[in-house]
Amino acid sequence: MSVPTPIEHLYLHFPFCTGRCGYCAFISGPPPADPSDVIAAFEREYAARGVRLAPLRTLYCGGGTPGLIGSEGFKSLNAASFLTFAPHYEWTVELHPATVTPELMGTLAACGVNRISIGVQSLDDAVLTHCNRRHTVEQALHAVAVARAWIPDTGIDLIAGLPGVSMGAWRKTLETVIALDLPHLSVYGLSIDDGSVWAKRGVPPPDADALCDAILEAATLLTAAGYERYETSNYAKPGFQCQHNLNTWHGGDYLGLGYGAASRLGAVRRDGLGEEIHLTAEEDALERCLTQLRLSEGFSVTDAVQRYPLLAPMADHWKKSLARFRAQGLLTTDYAPTARGYEVLDAMERQLLEALD
């Protein structure tokens, strides 16, 4: 497959983990003994995909556990011929707390990594053990301090709705995190993957109302502390939004390399298992357009139709629906979701698609 314009956004997936978190069914294993084998595999896959990369505006190294390739792996990645960067690029690396060392952080900083996301998930040791996260709270907070010393744009991920976390404990977690004054926070609702250890054991999903309350509490405390909820699960201080993910939510193309990496190239969506779905021009436009609804920037029907003229027949239905959502308190005056709107985002999207039926 060839794509006419070079791609400026690259996702590299590192399918390595030293154990299995209870809720996760992602297939991963230990990293190869020689980390340069991982980079060689990326290079081979890139050559085989027939896609051209431009100097990158964003590179996102996700997992799994990218830190398991260690300093040598990142040096080898940095030397890879397919990687060149545009001015003011963003290079994010996701890190598991147990992999953060001053040596690794020094290497990442020297390679030009300028954004770190650490999977902290919970600030309760009993909960972390129950989840089989393979790190303690102390390790996680130490990892954040070490990472920040090298790369100031360090943020963390938390999971809302983990079993055994009361609203009081969740509030305390959020207050502790707010006191860290990090530039970026992600708060995901717990989802238990089919095939995960917890799913096999019959661990129930979190109660829907309790999960909504926990997410709402996070939104309330974090926005009061100066964070902008710029996407359903993502909060940033001004100027610290994740540009890589924003490209996806703005409907931009990106290439994913590595087992489990998705791609979006023209009208072809490729899932993590390498299966390609060829979309019609209308499906492609709708998908790219409607992800915008999850952003705090707001949704403009006029802009959407200007960018995707074949969606013009939807304009009247969308304008009426959006006005109704706004009257119901689900959208702001700029047509961005309110806290209540975020809770029913999927339902709003379904109603916008009704005109197609």
**Could you list the residues that contact ligand SF4 (CB under 6 A)?**
17, 20-21, 24, 26, 28, 63-65, 96
- Give just the sign of the alpha carbon dihedral 180, 184, 187, 188: negative
22 or 341: whose CB is closer to ligand SF4? 22
63 or 73: whose CB is closer to ligand SF4? 63
17 or 113: whose CB is closer to ligand SF4? 17
120 or 330: whose CB is closer to ligand SF4? 120
CB count within 10 Å of CB 290 equals 19
CA distance 285 to 311: 7
190 or 293: whose CB is closer to ligand SF4? 190
Nearest residue to 166 via CA among 126, 199, 209, 214? 214
- Min dist CB 274 to ligand SF4, Å, is 18
Cα 154 from chain centroid?
Answer: 14
Q: How many CA atoms lie within 13 A of 297 on its CB side?
A: 13
64 or 161: whose CB is closer to ligand SF4? 64
CB count within 10 Å of CB 89 equals 17
- Min dist CB 189 to ligand SF4, Å, is 14
- Min dist CB 96 to ligand SF4, Å, is 6
CA distance 117 to 92: 7
- Min dist CB 272 to ligand SF4, Å, is 12
190 or 348: whose CB is closer to ligand SF4? 190
Indicate the pairing of strand 115-121 with strand 154-160: parallel
DSSP state of 100: -
- Min dist CB 281 to ligand SF4, Å, is 35
CA distance 13 to 42: 9
CA distance 261 to 274: 8
CA distance 242 to 189: 19
- Min dist CB 147 to ligand SF4, Å, is 17
CA distance 342 to 348: 9
Q: What is the dihedral of CA 120, 124, 126, 130, to 10 degrees?
A: -40
65 or 234: whose CB is closer to ligand SF4? 65
- Min dist CB 65 to ligand SF4, Å, is 6
Nearest residue to 230 via CA among 187, 167, 273, 171? 187
Task: For residue 200, give every residue at least 6 positions away whose Cβ sits within 8 Å of its Cβ, in sequence order, or none.
Answer: none
65 or 173: whose CB is closer to ligand SF4? 65
- Min dist CB 17 to ligand SF4, Å, is 3
- Min dist CB 30 to ligand SF4, Å, is 11
Cα 263 from chain centroid?
Answer: 14
